[in-house]
Structure 1
Amino acid sequence: MFMSVVNRDFRQAVEPVATARWTKNVDTGCDAPLGHGDLGNGEADLCFLVTRNALSGTGVLGCDPVVLPLDGWALRLDEVAFTVGAVAHRHTHSGSGWRHLVAGTLRIEAEHDTTVMSTGDSWFEPAQSPVRAVALQERGDTRFVRCMVIPLADVGQSTFKLQSPKDADLPRLQITHRHFDHVVQVDAL
């Protein structure tokens, strides 16, 4: 299986296994989501598609293979908002998925490289891959939309796991706004 993130320019005829859509709303601050999440096909600023085949071409911002949990899975769509100076200390998630930066600048420190993401950039994080994120803007919020394939055991639960117990006492200034966890049942994969 593959997960792709696509924008409004994507026009290919595909039969996705699952689709999450996100459309930007008016920014009312970090305490509220910046957009609206939904399931299924249709117009949206961003779509995250789980497909049997890799996607490429116009409108495809990224595509990577995903390993689906054997005991079932759900599609999670959420947003993470960082206030000025916020840091997501080194952590992992139990699910793989795409992130797309919709506001601000964010330094992503992965296991083998460090990348500065700007508004409009997308990146893929495999499950259980350690990462640290630092908001770099001097004013305003930094935000990304995230779609992950998560194990059923994590439906309704946080997938965030700190890598160092000493980081548990550090401030956590980022705010997560969950749009949905959607259990996906597929026959004959």
Structure 2
Amino acid sequence: MVERIVAAGRDVLVTRGYDGASTNRIAAAAGVSPGSLYQYFPDKDAVLTEVLDRYLDAMEARVSRAFLDSVAAAGPGAGTAPAVRATLEALLDTFGEEPDLLRVIVEQLPRSPGGRRAAFAGRIDDLVTTVLLARGAGHTDAARAAAWTVVRTVEHLTTGFVLERPGLARAVVVDELTALVAGYLDTRLSGGRVASDGPS
């Protein structure tokens, strides 16, 4: 029953948007009565939160695995390009599988500082920071700043590529983003540390 309701919630969210996703519509799409829905979820936000949680959990697992596997395969002395490329490919794969759901999440679901999406981004920040420090970044604050910058840049540009459909080949975009992000990180890591000073 829960699976049917969550699947229906996802479909209604995509077709009707956040404002149009009522519990009655979700129940009808699931083939259950509103009363049956309320046995599992108190309101529409609870259903949609479950939809979002599952989407983000799957994306986090996929992106984190691609990132960590590529870091391990490249070895400690390698540049960041292999990890960046693998992460971009995993992210674009995930976004590309459900672009309509991605659009609703980005454009219609609120993103509060303490919300689920912010928490997801924060965990990716921590993951990237840990790898930067393991690569010899000696200044934690600067490593965290570099991670925050990279994660937000990648999120914005990959989301834009999927939703805007700019008419560019994916391989070309991945090459450009890899050069952008890896170039930034490798520069910040040059000399075995993330630079702790601001621009001179």
TM range (shorter): under 0.3
Larger radius of gyration: 2
Tell me the TM-score normalized by structure 2.
0.23
Name whichever structure is richer in strand by fraction: 1
Q: TM-score, normalised by structure 1?
A: 0.24
